[in-house]
């Protein structure tokens, strides 16, 4: 029994942390203390300053002068000359919101870049040892891939997991330092989230301190010891997680109580089919039959690798179709390219925002317009003012927190980038809208707003196919949910939809024909 | 959901202040929102933003400042002041930049979409010598020759574009290949003979005449600049090129015809190289099979250097113009100062290195973009 009464040790503490971006105060005199061995969750709305805090800790963003930082038993140091090397030496390990993984390199190389290449004779890279070590790590973290696979060949979720493994790889036995994760689960399906959380609990139990950012409140409550909430760059409070409810957290984050129930569907939705899919095959899909009714939100529930994303991509002409037929509004629909799909009135928000949706380096305004430029070009003049007005309207409608719409899109916080991508497509009033994880990284308040906007679109005749990993959210947001398993639609669940039921339906092990009768 | 035992000796309301003073080595500051004196945050923010604004302006216009500084230097330096600031010298200086200027502006079109064209110099050389041949050996009229020269540029650009988009090989390698093939062709076709007679007088006059005190070919450069600026910033096509350069996969998924746009960019690039070729002929008054080997690299240097000003980190027309003037002023100034001719290539080479280093530094600040681009 420990008898020391002086409370838990401090693993990491900072004081007076401020950051100004081009006249905009992103963090205001933040005070934060992480105890040794705890899992500390950092919460807050989009743009509240979570990633900024973490980037400052990592030394990749310079804080305004005046802030101080203490790691473990060390002396206080000024935060303005904190560097990545110092952070590394102090035992801080990071997985950033946009992890800096190198898509064209192999998994083994990506991991080695985070630690060190094992060396053989004469300093050459010992590839065999490297591959063996990587294989072992992949095994331990249950990533089913060979060490030599290029990262680009993995899907978003696995790329994210590799980034996590990279940060964790040399921290197996250390109980000093802090592991810092910025929305590690935003792109992960629910089943994998549980895996990851399990791993985090394991590390904490072994004495590892963890600072952790997430918008998934259930997950926070299940794993965190203490919670700090930020709002507009200021700390709202730090509280014990024990006994808290999601509603408490939402109130702290948003500043007011919020009804988490998403707007319900109008009951009189018609039986007219917007999209009829018959026997669609290709990739992991082995004959999908599905009907999307006009004006409904049809959820797709399925595990990682079930072919959810591929289904959407096929419908958008961005994935090869091997067979089957699709009709759109009664006419045959077989888009050979995204242009053809768009012409037919189909829109698609891809799962991987960074790699497939954002035009980084381009302004927010240009990102909103992307693909629609010709509608502003009349009589040989580009109507910039018209474009700006539309951009302003979308920024207002979608509650995007921007300083100016001419700033590069990468200066937005992650959730706000996602809203830009959503707005890009929703404002076109598509006939059919295909959404793959549309709310990843979006805070609770804005998430409800986004579903409201989707609802408003369906009232005007848009039909939506929605892929969301979190069963709870899927159940709330959909009118019907189709369960995709083994390359086919196994069931369609009507309202009222129960999240637990969905999880069960997705997870039933595949039973081969002829088995199980004895 | 798994619950974990929480052996922390604390309540939800936090610890006693005294305890905190012991366990918290930073300060005995309460774990509650820090109250900031009114005006404090605001004044801090204003001060910081003033500093930021300062560095931003400095960065945006650094090349303009350097241009003005070099200009003042050569106008006052006793070694150069007597000749530098005369109308004739300025005219010669700017006219000398017209050919490379048109090439540089043309190459922007491919570069914006994330591609390179190392063959522009040789395309210009080809259309120059072919136009001269059409005049001298086949008796073509002045305008027919000009159109043919420009069309040849567009044609070779089209070949580049098709190779790049169909074979999906790095444009760097493809255009290096076509550049060398063009040289071989010129060698074979001209048997290394210059064409000095039979060039229409109209075209050589055009190369020497002034219009409102400004050389005719500089007017051409100005028109080209306006056209490229319009194309890149004020047409849907230009915006699509920017999108492709930023994120090709995303561009495809918003319905941009990526391959077609890139192939088109090479054609446009070739057309402007063709125009540059005709200007070369007009200035020299003769067809020359010896193509200066550094044309394409100088164009690249100009474009990269241009990306360091105005819209920092983004290839842009005004920045490119300033970069071209900067190179011209310094090369001319140093030549007047009596430095030998080699300074021309030396200065361009160093500027290229400087520009690319700068681009690397700037892109590190936007590292997300770079790592994703290759995906
Ligand atoms: N490079 C930048 N330039 C200008 N402003 C920036 C930059 N990076 C972040 N900001 C601004 O700082 C604020 C805080 O951003 P931050 O990324 O820390 O938010 P966040 O809490 O992580 O949000 P999210 O949940 O959406 O990821 C935002 O208003 C954002 O627009
Ligand atoms: Mg963030």
pLDDT in tens, B315-347: 889 999 999 898 888 888 888 887 777 777 787
- Closest ligand by atom to A48 CA: 1
pLDDT at A187: 65
Ligand 1, atom 7: nearest CA belongs to which residue? A411
Give B62 to chain A, closest Cα distance, Å: 19
A449-487 core/surface letters (b: 16 or more CB in 10 A; e: else):
bbbebbbebbeeebbbbbbbbbbbbbbbbbbbbbbbbeb
Phi, psi of B263 (to 5 degrees): -60, -45
> Quick check: is B273 in a domain?
yes
A357 at B interface, C-beta within 8 A: yes
Give B147 to chain A, closest Cα distance, Å: 24
> Quick check: is B137 in a domain?
yes
DSSP character at residue A150:
B
Asked if A381 and B234 come within 8 Å (Cβ–Cβ), the reply is: yes
Give the integer Cα–Cα distance in Å for A62 and A56. Answer: 6
> Quick check: is B263 in a domain?
yes
**For ligand 1, what atom is nearest to the CA of residue A416?**
26
CATH 3.40.50.300 maps onto chain A at 1-91+176-258, 273-353+429-517
Say if residues B370 and A414 touch (Cβ distance below 8 Å): no
- Closest ligand by atom to A53 CA: 1
Q: Are residues B124 and B222 in the same domain?
A: yes
Asked if B243 and A362 come within 8 Å (Cβ–Cβ), the reply is: yes
Say if residues B223 and B321 touch (Cβ distance below 8 Å): no
pLDDT at A128: 82
**Correct CATH for A1-91+176-258 of 3.40.50.300, 3.40.50.1860, 3.40.50.920, 3.20.20.210:** 3.40.50.300
Q: Are residues B215 and B240 in the same domain?
A: yes
> Quick check: is B2 in a domain?
no
Nearest to B235 among A348, A362, A377 (CB): A377
Of B291, B315, B333, which residue constitutes the final position of a domain?
A: B291
A38 at B interface, C-beta within 8 A: yes
Sequence length of chain B is 375
Say if residues A377 and B236 touch (Cβ distance below 8 Å): yes
Work out whether strand A432-436 and strand A346-349 pair parallel, antiparallel, or are unpaired. parallel
Which CA distances in Å does A393 have to A398, A412, A420, A449, A456?
A: 8, 17, 12, 15, 16
The domain total for chain B is: 2
**For ligand 1, what atom is nearest to the CA of residue A52?**
18
pLDDT at A119: 66
* pTM beyond cutoff 0.80: no
pLDDT at A172: 54
Of B231, B262, B291, which residue constitutes the final position of a domain?
A: B291
* E strand or H helix that includes residue A463: strand A463-467
Q: Are residues B106 and B254 in the same domain?
A: yes
**For ligand 1, what atom is nearest to the CA of residue A49?**
18
pLDDT at A156: 60
Asked if B31 and A357 come within 8 Å (Cβ–Cβ), the reply is: no
Give B226 to chain A, closest Cα distance, Å: 14
Which CA distances in Å does A477 have to A6, A297, B193, B252?
A: 48, 7, 76, 29
**For ligand 1, what atom is nearest to the CA of residue A97?**
27
Residue A415 in contact with ligand 1 by CB distance below 6 A: yes
Q: Are residues B186 and B220 in the same domain?
A: yes
Asked if B235 and A23 come within 8 Å (Cβ–Cβ), the reply is: no
Q: Are residues B350 and B244 in the same domain?
A: no
Nearest to A22 among B8, B52, B251 (CB): B52
Give the integer Cα–Cα distance in Å for A53 and A43. Answer: 11
A105 at B interface, C-beta within 8 A: no
pLDDT at A514: 37
Asked if A408 and B366 come within 8 Å (Cβ–Cβ), the reply is: yes
> Quick check: is B41 in a domain?
no
Q: Report A:84-103 residues touching B (Cβ under 8 A).
A: 98, 100-103
Of B264, B291, B318, which residue constitutes the final position of a domain?
A: B291
Say if residues A422 and A447 touch (Cβ distance below 8 Å): no
- Residue A100 with chain B: CB contacts under 8 Å: 367, 371
pLDDT at B248: 92
DSSP character at residue A431:
S
Residue A299 in contact with ligand 1 by CB distance below 6 A: no
Written as one string, the DSSP assignment of A246-298 is HHHHHHHHHSS----SPPPPPTT----EEEEEEEEEETTEEEEEEEEETT-EE
Q: Report A:322-351 residues touching B (Cβ under 8 A).
A: 338-339, 341-342, 348, 350
pLDDT at B360: 65
C-alpha B23 chain-centroid distance: 58
Ligand 1, atom 8: nearest CA belongs to which residue? A411
Q: Are residues B203 and B339 in the same domain?
A: no
Asked if A359 and B1 come within 8 Å (Cβ–Cβ), the reply is: no
Among A17, A19, A21, which is best to mutate for testing ligand 1, by the most ligand atoms less than 8 A from CB? A21
Ligand 1, atom 24: nearest CA belongs to which residue? A46
- Residue B324 belongs to what domain range? 293-363
Ligand 1, atom 3: nearest CA belongs to which residue? A411
Q: Are residues B301 and B226 in the same domain?
A: no
pLDDT at B17: 33
Residue-wise pLDDT for B265-276, tens only, equals 999 999 999 999
Which residues of chain A are under the pLDDT cut of 50? Answer: 1-5, 511-518
- Residue B59 with chain A: CB contacts under 8 Å: none
Asked if A13 and B53 come within 8 Å (Cβ–Cβ), the reply is: no
Q: Report A:278-307 residues touching B (Cβ under 8 A).
A: none
Q: Are residues B243 and B335 in the same domain?
A: no
Give A28 to chain B, closest Cα distance, Å: 7
> Quick check: is B87 in a domain?
no
Which residues of chain B are under the pLDDT cut of 70? Answer: 1-59, 359-375
- Residue A342 with chain B: CB contacts under 8 Å: 255
Residue A18 in contact with ligand 1 by CB distance below 6 A: no
Residue spans of beta strands (DSSP E) within A193-264 = 209-213, 226-231, 234-240
Q: Are residues B243 and B232 in the same domain?
A: yes
Q: Are residues B255 and B319 in the same domain?
A: no
Asked if B372 and A354 come within 8 Å (Cβ–Cβ), the reply is: yes
Nearest to A242 among B12, B19, B251 (CB): B12
Q: Are residues B282 and B149 in the same domain?
A: yes
Among A49, A185, A367, A420, which is best to mutate for testing ligand 1, by the most ligand atoms less than 8 A from CB? A49
pLDDT at B31: 35
pLDDT at A271: 67
**Backbone dihedral region for residue A229 (phi beyond 0: left; psi -120 to 50: alpha; all else: beta):** beta
Q: Enter the ipTM.
A: 0.77
Q: Edge-to-edge strands of the sheet including A39-44?
A: A92-95, A178-182, A209-213, A39-44, A226-231, A234-240
> Quick check: is B218 in a domain?
yes
* CATH code reported for the domain at A273-353+429-517: 3.40.50.300
pLDDT at A512: 40
- Closest ligand by atom to A45 CA: 1
- Residue B53 with chain A: CB contacts under 8 Å: 22-23
Q: Are residues B305 and B173 in the same domain?
A: no
**For ligand 1, what atom is nearest to the CA of residue A55?**
18
Sequence length of chain A is 518
- CB contacts < 8 Å between A and B, how many? 195
- For residue B366, the CA-to-ligand 1 centroid distance in Å is 14
Asked if B11 and A240 come within 8 Å (Cβ–Cβ), the reply is: yes
Give A267 to chain B, closest Cα distance, Å: 33
Contacts of A151 (CB under 8 A, 6+ apart): A101, A102, A103, A104, A105, A106, A107, A110, A159, A162
Candidates A58, A212, A361, A379: best to mutate against B (most CBs of B within 10 A) is A361
Candidates B250, B307, B363, B370: best to mutate against A (most CBs of A within 10 A) is B250
């Amino acid at each position: 029994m420990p008898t020391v009464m002086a409370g838990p040790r401090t693993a990491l503490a900072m004081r007076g942390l401020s950051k100004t971006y081009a006249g905009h105060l992103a963090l205001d005199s933040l005070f934060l203390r992480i105890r040794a061995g705890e899992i500390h969750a950092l919460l807050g709305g989009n743009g509240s300053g979570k990633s900024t805090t973490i980037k400052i800790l990592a030394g990749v963003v310079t804080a305004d002068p005046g802030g101080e930082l203490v790691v473990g038993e060390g002396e206080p140091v000024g935060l303005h000359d904190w560097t990545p090397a110092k952070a590394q030496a102090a035992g801080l390990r990071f997985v950033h919101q946009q992890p800096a993984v190198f898509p064209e390199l192999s998994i083994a190389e990506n991991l080695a870049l985070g630690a060190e290449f094992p060396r053989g004779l004469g300093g050459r890279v010992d590839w065999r040892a490297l591959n063996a070590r990587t294989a072992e790590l992949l095994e331990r973290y249950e990533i089913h891939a060979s060490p030599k696979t290029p990262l680009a060949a993995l899907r978003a979720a696995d790329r994210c997991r590799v980034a996590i493994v990279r940060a964790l790889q040399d921290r197996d036995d250390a109980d000093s330092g802090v592991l810092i994760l910025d929305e590690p689960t935003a792109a992960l399906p629910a089943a994998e989230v549980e895996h990851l959380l399990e791993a985090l609990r394991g590390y904490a139990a072994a004495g590892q301190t963890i600072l952790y950012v997430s918008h998934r409140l259930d997950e926070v409550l299940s794993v965190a010891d203490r919670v700090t909430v930020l709002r507009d760059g200021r700390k709202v409070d730090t509280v014990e997680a024990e006994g808290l409810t999601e509603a408490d957290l939402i109130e702290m984050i948003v500043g007011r109580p919020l009804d988490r129930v998403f707007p319900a569907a109008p009951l009189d939705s018609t039986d007219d089919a917007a999209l009829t899919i018959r026997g669609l095959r290709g990739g992991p899909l082995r004959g999908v039959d599905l009907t999307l009714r006009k004006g409904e939100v049809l959820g797709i529930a399925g595990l990682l690798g079930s072919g959810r994303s591929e289904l959407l991509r096929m419908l958008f002409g961005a994935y090869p179709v091997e067979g089957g037929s699709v009709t759109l509004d009664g006419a045959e629909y077989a888009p050979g390219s995204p242009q053809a799909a768009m012409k037919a009135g189909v829109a698609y928000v891809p799962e991987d925002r960074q790699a497939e949706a954002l035009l980084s380096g381009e302004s927010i305004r240009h990102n909103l317009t992307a693909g629609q430029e010709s509608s502003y070009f009349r009589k040989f003049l580009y109507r910039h003012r018209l474009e700006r007005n539309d951009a302003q309207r979308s920024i207002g409608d979608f509650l995007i927190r921007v300083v100016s719409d001419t700033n590069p899109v990468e200066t937005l916080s992650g959730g706000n980038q996602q809203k830009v991508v959503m707005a890009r497509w929703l404002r076109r009033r598509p006939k059919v809208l295909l959404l793959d994880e549309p709310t990843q990284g979006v805070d609770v308040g804005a998430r409800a707003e986004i579903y409201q906007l989707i609802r408003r679109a369906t009232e005007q005749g848009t039909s939506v196919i929605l892929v969301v990993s979190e069963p709870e959210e899927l159940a709330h947001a959909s009118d019907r949910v189709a369960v995709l398993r083994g390359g086919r639609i196994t069931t369609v669940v009507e309202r009222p939809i129960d999240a637990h039921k969905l999880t069960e339906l997705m997870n039933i092990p595949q039973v081969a024909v002829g088995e199980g009768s004895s | 959901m798994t619950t974990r035992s929480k052996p922390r000796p604390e309540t939800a309301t936090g610890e006693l202040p005294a305890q905190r003073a012991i366990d918290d080595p930073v300060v005995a500051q309460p774990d509650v929102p820090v109250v900031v004196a009114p005006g404090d945050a605001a004044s801090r923010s204003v001060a910081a933003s003033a500093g930021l604004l300062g560095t931003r302006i400095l960065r945006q216009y650094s090349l303009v400042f350097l241009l003005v500084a070099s200009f003042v230097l050569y106008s006052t330096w006793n070694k150069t002041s007597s000749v530098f600031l005369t109308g004739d010298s300025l005219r010669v200086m700017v006219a000398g930049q017209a050919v490379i200027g048109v090439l540089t502006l043309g190459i922007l079109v491919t570069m914006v979409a994330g591609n390179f064209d190392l063959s522009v110099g040789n395309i210009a050389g080809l259309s120059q010598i072919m136009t001269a041949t059409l005049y001298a050996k086949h008796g073509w009229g002045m305008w027919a020759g000009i159109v043919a020269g420009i069309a040849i540029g567009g044609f070779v650009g089209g070949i580049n574009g098709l190779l790049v988009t169909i074979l999906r090989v790095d444009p760097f390698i493809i255009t290096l290949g076509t550049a060398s093939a063009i040289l071989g062709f010129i060698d074979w076709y001209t048997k290394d003979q210059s064409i000095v007679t039979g060039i229409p007088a109209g075209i050589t006059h055009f190369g020497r005449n002034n219009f409102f005190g400004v050389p005719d070919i500089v007017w051409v450069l100005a028109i080209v600049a306006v056209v490229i600026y319009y194309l890149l910033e004020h047409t849907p096509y230009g915006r699509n090129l920017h999108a492709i350069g930023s994120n090709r996969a995303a561009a495809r998924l918003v319905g941009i015809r990526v391959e077609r746009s890139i192939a088109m960019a090479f054609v446009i690039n070739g057309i402007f190289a063709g125009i540059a070729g005709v200007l070369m002929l007009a200035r020299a008054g003769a067809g020359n099979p010896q193509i200066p080997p550094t044309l394409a690299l100088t164009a690249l240097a100009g474009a990269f250097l241009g990306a360091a000003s105005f819209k920092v980190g983004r290839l842009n027309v005004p920045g490119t113009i300033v970069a071209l003037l900067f190179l011209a002023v310094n090369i001319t100034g140093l030549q007047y100062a009596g430095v030998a001719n080699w300074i021309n290539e030396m200065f361009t080479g160093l500027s290229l290195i400087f520009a690319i280093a700068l681009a690397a530094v700037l892109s590190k600040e936007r590292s997300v973009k770079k790592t994703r681009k290759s995906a």
